[in-house]
Amino acid sequence: MQNRECGSRMNILVGCLLLACLSVLVIAGCGGDRKSEAATARTESAEVAAPPPQAPTASETPAAQPATPDAGEPDDTPAPAQPRVAEPRPAEPRAQAPAPAVQPQSQTGAPAAAEVPAEEPPLPVLTPVGERRPAPAFEATDMAGRPVSLAGMKGKVGLVVFWATWCRPCMMEIPHLVRLQQSYGKQGLSIVGLSIDRRGMAVVKPFVDKHPEINYPIVPSGLAAADAFGGIASIPTSFLIDREGRVIRMFVGLMPGETLEGFVKAALQEAS
């Protein structure tokens, strides 16, 4: 009888031990699954958070275009649509010097320091007169049928600009030229635009009609004048001419408006 009781107790004890071992194994397995799930979640989060690589972008503002007509003006195809030229900014009126005012005094009785006005940037240095070559003589006719020539610029500072209706940098330069003519025309600046479009009036007139803000003469056929200046390789190309008909400087490509204005101001202030 005692042996049977001992055997039953042993069976119960062994059963309890087996149940405990199974519980430990089950808990360990659950913990491993949770760690694997957490690691997987962290990996997916890192992949989502990483930004995609971006390709470098190139500049969209060309400085100049080849002057060969094949680059933008085929013979048998209609002229491409022209980009809209920005409206020129009106000339800013010069501020009159204010009348001298009584300087305010500080609490100690001493006059307060007066504000120093901002100085304008220095004008660029021009080519010495002795090193300038005479500008080539040319004669042309503008859109209104009026003659345009180097002799007609005598006594004025001239800016001869070679351009074309299919040239994007030329379109971007037009607002600067309009502003220069508006600001310095009364001081003696004379701008003329000579188109090198092979189709001449057929493409230049519709373009000018769409841009009435252009306030300087436009020559629809400037190829002969371009040959007189030695040929034009890139456009826009401009020649700054002094009051005596000598070339001060040649500008190739789209120039910053401030740079072009500085040379114009220096040429206008120069004694002839």
The string of pLDDT tens digits covering residues 18-75 is 777 666 565 555 555 554 555 554 545 444 444 444 544 444 445 778 877 554 554 5
The string of pLDDT tens digits covering residues 115-174 is 655 677 799 999 999 999 999 999 999 999 999 999 999 999 999 999 999 999 999 999
Query: For residue 10, how far is the Cα from the chain centroid?
Result: 94
Model confidence pTM above 0.75: no
Contacts of 188 (CB under 8 A, 6+ apart): 155, 156, 157, 243, 268
The string of pLDDT tens digits covering residues 228-269 is 999 999 999 999 999 999 999 999 999 999 999 999 999 999
**CB atoms closer than 10 angstroms to residue 211:** 16
In a 10 Å sphere around its CB, with 0-12 CB exposed, 13-18 middle and 19+ buried, how is residue 69 labelled?
A: middle
Q: Which residue ranges form the domains of the chain, and what is each CATH number?
A: 123-269 (3.40.30.10)
Across all residues in the chain, what is the average pLDDT?
Answer: 77
